[in-house]
Amino acid sequence: MNTLTANLALALIVLLSGEPAFAQSQSREHLTPLDEALELYQDFSGKTVLRSPSLPPLSEFNKPISSSDINGMRMVLENELLNKGIELVPLGEVIVMAVESGWKNSPTANYIATIKPPVSHPVPVSNDNKTAEESIPPGTIDFRGADINQFLDLYATLRNRNVLRSAQINSSIFKLHTQTPFKRNDVIYLLEVLLALNGIASVEDGTNFLLVVQTSRITNLKLQAPQRSPNDPLLDPKTIPDFRYSHSFVPGKGFQARGPGAVNEMVAYYGELTGRTALSTDKVGSVPLIFRAQTLLTKPELLYALETTLALNGIAIIEVDENTIRAGYLHELKRVEGKSQ
C-alpha cells in the first residue's frame, strides 16, 4: 500500500475506532430507500454522489428491472428521482450532486460555484506505479453516518491545516462513498462541496489555518493569522492540549474524555502561555470548545488559534489586570475596550 493511501486508511481507522464523539458507519442492512436509490445510481453511472441534507425522503424504492443497457437503467433512475423532487446535477466528469428540485438558484448553489475544483483530474484505474502512488482507491472513503466532528477531523488531516471553528456548528450526518479513484486534492474538493451542501464553509486564514463557519458568516470573518518569522521556535502539536474533549480524573482509569473541551480549560492554558493567572468563571466557563493542533505552530500562531476559537464561539479573553485574565462574552470585551479609550 502506498504512503498516501496508508495515511488516509490510518486516519479512517482512527476516526472509526469507537471514540464516543464519533458516529459509526451505517450497515447496509439499515439503508433507507433513498440510500438504496443513490447507491444504485453510483453503480450505474460510475460517479460519486454528493447529497444535499434537504433531499425529500423516499417512502419506497423499486429497483429497475435488470438490463444489459446500463445507460438506459441510469436514465430510468434519474427520471424516477426527478419525479420524487430530486435532481442529479453533474459536477465535473465523475461527480454528481443529488439536490432538491429548484436548488440551482439557491445561495448554496451560488456558493458552491465559487469553490475551485482541483486542476488535476480524477485518476483513472491504472497499473502504472507512479499513478497508483498518487491515487486513493475507490471505496476508501465510505461514510454512511459520519458526524461533523468526524468529518472535519478527516478534512483537517487531508488539508494538513489547523481547523478553527465553533463547537455549535452542526449538520445532518454525512454520507459519502467514493465510486472512482481520486487524488488527494480531489477528495478535499469533495469534502468542501459536501460541507457547502450542509451550509458550512471552509475559509483559508494564512498558510496554517482554516476557519470553518456557516456560509452566512463568511462576510463577517476577520482573517488575521500572524505571519510566521523564520526564527520563531515551533511547537509540536503533540505537546498542545487537545480541546476536542474535556477530561476528568477517574480513580483507577486516569484521565477520561467527557465531551468537548470547555472555556475555562482553554483560558487557563492561554494564561499559562502568556504568564498570567486565569480566573475560573461559571458564567461562560462551561461553554464547549473544539480545537486540536494539526501542524507545528509558533507561539503567536497558537495564541491566535486559541483567541479565534474563543471568538468563533462568542467568547473573549478579558484582562482583569496586567497579571490576570478571565473569559467573558465578546460584548464584554467591547465594553471594556470602550472604557479604556
Average pLDDT of 116-120?
81
Write the CA distances from 201 to 75, 141, 210, 212, integer angstroms: 32, 21, 10, 6
User: Of 84, 3, 85, 88, nearest to 41 (Cα)?
Assistant: 88
**Which pLDDT band holds residue 262 (cuts at 50, 70, 90)?**
confident
Rounded-to-integer distance, Cα 108 and Cα 315, Å = 28
**Which pLDDT band holds residue 155 (cuts at 50, 70, 90)?**
very high
Q: What is the CATH number of domain 3-220?
A: 3.55.50.30
> What would the DSSP string read from start to end of 164-225?
EE-TT---SPEEEE--S-EEHHHHHHHHHHHHHHTTEEEEEETTTEEEEEEGGGGGG----P
Domains 3-220 and 237-340 share a fold: yes
Rounded-to-integer distance, Cα 11 and Cα 278, Å = 35
Amino acid at 139: G
**Which pLDDT band holds residue 25 (cuts at 50, 70, 90)?**
very low
**What are 89-105's pLDDT values in tens digits?**
999 999 999 999 999 99
Domain boundaries, the chain: 3-220, 237-340
Contact 267, 278 (CB under 8 A): yes
Grid coordinates belonging to 256: 477520561
**What are 300-309's pLDDT values in tens digits?**
999 999 999 9
Q: Which residues of 115-136 are buried (b: 16+ CB within 10 A; e: fewer)?
A: eeeeeeebbeeeeeeeebebbb
Query: Which sign does the torsion angle of CA 204, 206, 218, 309 carry?
Result: positive
Rounded-to-integer distance, Cα 82 and Cα 241, Å = 49
- Going by CATH, does the domain composed of 237-340 fall within 3.55.50.30? yes
Write the CA distances from 248 to 220, 237, 254, 284, integer angstroms: 36, 21, 8, 19
What average pLDDT does the chain have?
Answer: 84
**What are 175-230's pLDDT values in tens digits?**
999 999 999 999 999 999 999 999 999 999 999 999 999 999 999 999 999 999 98
User: With the CA atoms of 206, 210, 212 and 216 taken in that order, what torsion angle do they form, in degrees rounded to the nearest 10?
Assistant: 30
Average pLDDT of 315-322?
95
Answering whether pTM is above 0.85, one says no
Rounded-to-integer distance, Cα 238 and Cα 154, Å = 17
